[in-house]
Amino acid sequence: EEMKVGLRSREIKMGVEHGMRGDGRVGEEDEEDTVAARVYRECSESVLKVEAICEAKRILGRGGGVGGLGLGGDREDGGNGAMMPTKVASGSAFMWDSEGHAVTSAHVVAHARELRATFAACGADDRLFYTATLVGADEHRDIAVLHLTPPAHLTASQRASLPPLPKPLPRRTSSQLRVGHRLFTLGHPFGFETTLTCGIVSGLRRELATSSRARPLFNVIQTDAAQNPGSSGGPVLDSKGRVAGMSCAIASPSGAFAGISFALPIDTIETAVSEILQLGRVRVPYVGLAFAPEALAHRLGIESGLLVLHARPGGPAAKVGVRGTMRVASRGAEPRLQMGDVLVKVDRMAVSKVDDLYRQLEGKVVGEMVTLRLSRDGKTYDVTIQLEDAPKVSNDGSNHHIKFAPRALLPHARL
């Protein structure tokens, strides 16, 4: 009898652990289900679908496809074809503050003529949407800030029927995330309505290099929560419904989700958004140097460090006398190649590739002082420079005055 009682006690204990009620039947919800349901209930209203629309084109189809748009190739036509606004991107966003600002991925809204944002309360009525204006973007970190307002063409009665903007989502610090912590993502993959996925923190401080940008993303969160095209810009939340990051990319050989996805940490986003709201842009610290590709430097006998090809006139490095590579004319002989300085260290950290320099600059701000160790004619010397705001940043986030060698890339896809 005692053995039977003991077995029954263990059965009850196991039943509780597996979500069974005291009567042996499976309970309606276990703790994990309850957390996921609460996160969706409390946060989904504040997640937006963003549609980016390019210039309208007059299209005449060839090949007899659906609606006259054939698969053989569409062309613009000056005749009587229909004007068709073309969607160039669709992604997700989330409410940032009560002033009508939302945050999304910069690549979602790049090159858009018109931006529209909707959320759950807008329903299926195509007339109910908010106009989104780009406040500014950090192309290096793939972050953009939008300002949402009712469309200008709405009448007073239509404006009254437009649902109010959702509340902003609470935020936490990402510095306290640990591998194994539970995460939830919300977004609009493939244009579907708000979708919840669950996972854990699989890794921290990842560096993400993609073929579409020169500068890697640093301190990225890795998770196994499912993300797909359209998820970019959606919030990554902890079990209390606080934003811990923003969906940005997946690692996949095919472009479809393969179990590894990435999110920008909220601490990085906070810094960028704060500067965008103050200045309309993000100031990017730079040193004003262009470097030789690694293969070329090796052919010239440079085994370690970065060979300086060019120091931008008036830039931080040029002001302290850093020398670039140049051809020097000599009387009665062919011009000879004068090697430039070789950057060996930045603030006592060795650099062997340009990503090492980017990594050192990641935590710096414009106006901060950094020490460069350089080698010239076999001798090393140190100079201290003041970082300045990069004068121009390309659409892919690369600095025109920091060049680097092509590198092998893992197959990452932006969403």
Which pair of tokens denotes residue 260? Answer: 């590894």
Which pairing describes strands 342-346 and 349-350: parallel, antiparallel, or unpaired?
antiparallel
Task: Name the active-site residue from 90, 92, 231, 232.
Answer: 232
R_g over Cα of the chain: 27
Amino acid at 377: D
Task: Name the active-site residue from 101, 107, 188, 412.
Answer: 107
Going by C-alpha positions, the residue among 402, 399, 352, 342 that lies closest to residue 372 is 342
Which residues, 6 or more positions from 368, have their beta carbon under 8 angstroms from its beta carbon? 285, 386, 387
CB under 8 Å, gap of 24 or more: what pairs does 178-183 form?
A: 178/204, 179/203, 179/204, 181/238, 182/35, 182/238, 182/239, 183/223, 183/225, 183/236, 183/237, 183/238, 183/244, 183/263
Task: Name the active-site residue from 142, 174, 188, 202.
Answer: 142
DSSP code string of 72-119? T--EE-SSSPPEEPPEEEEEEEEE--TTSEEEE-HHHHTT-SEEEEE-
Spatial separation of the C-alpha atoms in residues 49 and 149, rounded to whole Å: 15
Spatial separation of the C-alpha atoms in residues 98 and 102, rounded to whole Å: 9
Cα-Cα-Cα-Cα dihedral sign, residues 152, 154, 160, 164: negative
Judge whether 18 counts as a catalytic residue: no
Going by C-alpha positions, the residue among 213, 197, 211 that lies closest to residue 257 is 197
Report in angstroms the alpha-carbon separations of 205 from 195, 198, 221, 359.
Answer: 26, 20, 6, 12
Going by C-alpha positions, the residue among 122, 108, 134 that lies closest to residue 52 is 108
Judge whether 44 counts as a catalytic residue: no
Spatial separation of the C-alpha atoms in residues 129 and 148, rounded to whole Å: 10
Judge whether 107 counts as a catalytic residue: yes
Going by C-alpha positions, the residue among 221, 217, 218, 226 that lies closest to residue 184 is 226
Q: If you ran DSSP here, which 8-state letter would residue 171 be given?
A: B
Cβ of 375: how many Cβ atoms within 10 Å? 18
Which active-site residues does the annotation give? 107, 142, 232
